[in-house]
């Protein structure tokens, strides 16, 4: 399950770095997450970085330049 994170930092990353932030299941691999995001939003992922904090897995998904993160964030209702 993928849930978008809508904090001030997440919005700043969308605007400055073309990066989306999600909370995912800790057991999911980066490849599985990448394929899921690409199929769901019809976008291309450049890289994924993950972080486990307070028993939650947070991923930072940097998109390729031809796919603006602000468009995906608008569809999700983050912005």
Per residue in 3-37, pLDDT (tens digit) is: 999 999 999 999 999 999 999 999 999 999 999 99
Angle at the Cα of 34 from the Cα atoms of 74 and 3, rounded to 5 degrees: 45
DSSP β-ladder status, 19-24 and 3-4: antiparallel
Range of the domain at 33: 3-76
pTM: 0.92
49: domain CATH number? 3.30.70.330
Supply the pLDDT for residue 29: 95
Q: How many domains does the chain contain in total? A: 1
Q: What is the pLDDT of residue 2?
A: 87
Confidence of residue 79 (pLDDT cuts 50, 70, 90): confident
Tokens 């998109």 belong to which residue? 63
What's the average model confidence in pLDDT over 30-45? 94
Are the C-beta atoms of residues 26 and 56 closer than 8 Å to each other? yes
């Amino acid at each position: 399950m993928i849930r978008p994170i809508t904090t001030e930092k997440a919005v700043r990353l969308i605007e400055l770095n073309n990066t989306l932030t999600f909370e995912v299941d800790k057991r999911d691999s980066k490849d599985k997450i990448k394929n899921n995001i690409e199929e769901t939003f019809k976008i291309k992922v450049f890289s994924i970085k993950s972080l486990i904090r307070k028993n939650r897995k947070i991923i930072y998904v940097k998109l390729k330049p031809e796919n603006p993160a602000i468009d995906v964030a608008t569809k999700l209702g983050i912005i």
